[in-house]
Amino acid sequence: MHLSQTIEKLFMKYSLLLAVLLPMTAIAQAPAGDDMPDMGQIFLEQFDTDKDGKVTLAEFRQPRDEKFAMMDGDKDGAVSADEAQAFSRMMMQRMQQMMQMQRKAQQMQQIPRQ
């Protein structure tokens, strides 16, 4: 497999993972007893950058383009294996932090209020 294919798979993996995890953090932060949040609304809040009530292809692609820019540490317009590996480590750390925040939010919801 070529490096470009590996990088593309990393993009897809982490883009999809973030698309799943970001709404989960909103769900975890919803007050106890409330109805489930509107996933369509969460999607719009995440991707509708110009707030016109629609998500264009450019708006949908923007996070991926931003991730490429984040991965390209030396800003040479290409992502090396080392840069992809560093990005992967950073994303794993972020996911762990998000999961810890989700667990804390769940624990807070379980504490009886007086």
Q: Which of 81, 87, 68 is nearest to 1 (CA)?
A: 81
For 81-113, what is each residue's pLDDT tens digit? 999 899 889 889 999 999 999 988 888 888 776
Residue 49 counted as domain residue: yes
DSSP state of 75: -
What pTM, to 2 d.p., does this model score?
0.48
| DSSP result, 1-57 | --HHHHHHHHHHHHHHHHHHHHHHHHHHHSPTTPPPP-HHHHHHHHH-TT-SS---H
For 16-50, what is each residue's pLDDT tens digit? 555 555 555 555 555 555 567 788 888 899 889 99
Boundaries of domain holding 47: 3-28+37-94
CB 18 within 8 A of CB 66: no
Residue 100 counted as domain residue: no
Residue 104 counted as domain residue: no
Residue 111 counted as domain residue: no
